[in-house]
Each structure stands twice: as C-alpha cells, then as structure tokens.
Amino acid sequence: MAPWALLSSGVLVRTGHTVLTWGITLVLFLHDTGETDPTRSWTHPIPQLRQWEEQGELLLPLTFLLLVLGSLLLYLAVSLMDPGYVNVQPQPQEDPKEEQMAMVPQAIPLRRCRYCLVLQPLRARHCRECRRCVRRYDHHCPWMENCVGERNHPFFVVYLALQLVVLLWGLYLAWSGLRFFQPWGLWLRSSGLLFITFLLLSFFALIAGLLLASHLYLVASNTTTWEFISSHRIAYLRQRSSNPFDRGLIRNLARFFCGWPSGSWETLWAEDEEESSSQVV
C-alpha cells in the first residue's frame, strides 16, 4: 500500500482538529505580553492564564487543560465509533417477516436499501459518504468525518456542550490579554497571534453554540436533522401533521440520553397511528 493511501480524509480531518486544538491551547498558555516599555506610560496586558501561572494558582489552568483534553477525547470517540450501522450481512430477497410487518401498518412498509440491499429499520437512512445505512440517521458531519446516528448522537450533543464551554472560556482568556490602546505596529507584533486566536475562537464558539441549540431543540422533540429538513420526502412522515415519535420533553430526553423507555420506533409509529385513527373516529 502506498504511504499516501493511509492519509484518508478522516485521518486528515482528525489530525487537523487535534493540531488546531492544541495549537490554540498553547497560544493561550504560553503567549507572553508582559513586557513594559520604559518610555511609555502603558504596559502590555498579561493573559489571564499567564497571570495564574505566575501567581502559582494552578487549579484553574489545570481545569482548563483537562476540559480541553476531555473535549478532544470526546471528539475522537464520536468520530471513530459506530454511529449505528445497520447490519450489512447479505439478506435474501424475500418479504419482511410477519412480526416486522405487524409493527408497521401496510401503508408504511419497511424499505430495502437500493445500495446496501438491507432491510432498513424505521428512521434509518443510507449515507453515501460512509456507504452504510445508519439507524436513526441524523446527518453526516464532515468535521467528524463520520455519521451522527442512533449510537453516537448523545455523545455528539455532550461534545458540543463541552466544546462550547471550552471555547467560551478560551474567548475570555484571549480577550484578557488584548488591549488596543497601543501603537499599531507594536500591538501587532505583541498581540497579533493572540488576536487571530480570539477570532478563531469567536467563529468556532458561534458555530458550536448554533449547533448545540439546534440539536437540543431536535432532541427535545425527538426528531432528527434529516427528518426536520426533509419530512416532505420521508414516507413515514409525509402524511403526518405531527411528529409520531414525540412523547413529551421528559420522555424524549430520557430515551435519548438514557435509552429509557426502550422500544422500537416502529411500535411508537404504530401507536401514534392508532391514536390518530381513534381521534378521527
């Protein structure tokens, strides 16, 4: 195998994320702007992390470092874990089993994927990037280079929350070392790198905040990004006026994060169908 064949897009993306994370962290820890100009009445500010280090207060810097490490490990876990792939073992071209069809009304039969040739459970979708069908498919995340699905979606939301905390703390730390009442050339030499770091942190914090807010909304209503965007194209949602999987905020959160109450999506869909039919009657 050629050496460059090992450099898949996933390896490059994960390596880039790791290098960027530790690069920004090192700037926040090591950036020193504490020199004084004896001909001026001002001094360069010292970033907060640097002040803590010089004062021997190591608890907060250590906590920040552990949060960065935790977010990076969580990122790698979500990126590398199985998102909930449907079994790809060859299946004979036969009709679904009776017990499967009993859970789902005849109006919404289970589909066979035209790419994998597997019988797709309800809420599953084929990902062309991963070339696999994923249970409770949410989306394919290019920054993770992995799908977000039934197994790793809870970890993805926790990662977003932890990452947002780290980014906001990093923003505060970077801002604590920036002052703009200095000659432009001197300020650019002393604080240019820290200012670029601040801009990067601002951008990433905005993205992480928007993603976290949107996913918390989806989790609270027990829907997915794919279902929210393309409900008009999905057979089991096209004719519905409401989400058949929504069981209220508390139960939705309990099922998403804790797996309770357990049960198949087909059963929930069928129960909602029966409730809708009884209301019409």
- Let me know whether 105 and 74 are in one domain: no
Q: 1 in a domain, yes or no?
A: no
- Let me know whether 58 and 183 are in one domain: yes
Q: Are 78 and 146 in contact (CB under 8 A)?
A: yes
Which runs of E-coded beta strand occur in the chain?
125-127, 132-134, 139-141, 146-148
Backbone angles phi, psi at 134, to 5 degrees: -120, 130
Q: Give yes or no for residue 245 having a pLDDT over 90.
A: yes
Structure-token match 């990452």, residue found:
163
Q: Give yes or no for residue 7 having a pLDDT over 80.
A: no
pTM: 0.84
CA 100, chain centre distance (Å)? 32
- Let me know whether 15 and 71 are in one domain: yes
Query: What does the pLDDT look like over 42-75, one tens digit per residue?
Result: 455 556 666 776 677 788 888 999 999 999 999 9
Run of H or E including 215: helix 184-220
Of the listed ranges 94-98, 195-199, 202-206, the least confidently predicted one is 94-98
pLDDT at 45: 56
Q: What is the mean predicted confidence (pLDDT) over 153-172?
A: 97
Range of the domain at 266: 240-281
Query: What does the pLDDT look like over 203-226, one tens digit per residue?
Result: 999 999 999 999 999 999 999 999
In angstroms, rounded to a whole number, what is the distance separating the alpha carbons of residues 104 and 96? 11
Q: How confident is the model at residue 164 (pLDDT cuts 50, 70, 90)?
A: very high
In angstroms, rounded to a whole number, what is the distance separating the alpha carbons of residues 150 and 85? 9
- Let me know whether 137 and 159 are in one domain: no
Structure-token match 């409900």, residue found:
231
- Let me know whether 69 and 164 are in one domain: yes
- Let me know whether 17 and 134 are in one domain: no
How many domains does the chain divide into?
3
- Let me know whether 245 and 273 are in one domain: yes
Q: Amino acid letter at 128?
A: R
pLDDT at 37: 46
In angstroms, rounded to a whole number, what is the distance separating the alpha carbons of residues 268 and 122? 10
- Let me know whether 51 and 165 are in one domain: yes
CB atoms within 10 A of CB 21: 18
Q: 230 in a domain, yes or no?
A: no
Q: 4 in a domain, yes or no?
A: no
pLDDT above 90 covers what percent of the chain? 53
- Let me know whether 67 and 157 are in one domain: yes
pLDDT at 189: 75
Longest C-alpha distance within the chain, in Å? 88
CA distances from 271 to 15, 103, 244 (A): 46, 9, 8
Last residue of a domain, one of 102, 128, 148: 148
CA end-to-end span of the chain: 66
Give the pairing of strands 139-141 and 132-134. unpaired
Give the pairing of strands 139-141 and 146-148. antiparallel
Q: Are 110 and 119 in contact (CB under 8 A)?
A: yes
Last residue of a domain, one of 99, 126, 148: 148
Q: Amino acid letter at 178?
A: L
Q: 201 in a domain, yes or no?
A: yes
- Let me know whether 98 and 71 are in one domain: no
Q: 276 in a domain, yes or no?
A: yes
Q: Are 164 and 209 in contact (CB under 8 A)?
A: yes
pLDDT at 36: 44
The residue among 152, 10, 7 whose CA lies nearest residue 78 is 152
The residue among 257, 232, 263 whose CA lies nearest residue 245 is 263
pLDDT at 4: 44
Q: Give yes or no for residue 101 having a pLDDT over 60.
A: no
pLDDT at 240: 83
Q: 229 in a domain, yes or no?
A: no
Structure-token match 């490059």, residue found:
12
Q: 205 in a domain, yes or no?
A: yes
Q: How confident is the model at residue 153 (pLDDT cuts 50, 70, 90)?
A: very high
The residue among 83, 167, 98 whose CA lies nearest residue 130 is 83
Question: What is the overall mean pLDDT for the chain?
Answer: 83
pLDDT at 41: 45
Q: 231 in a domain, yes or no?
A: no
- Let me know whether 129 and 191 are in one domain: no
Last residue of a domain, one of 148, 166, 195: 148
- Let me know whether 66 and 161 are in one domain: yes
Task: Give the active site residues.
Answer: 141
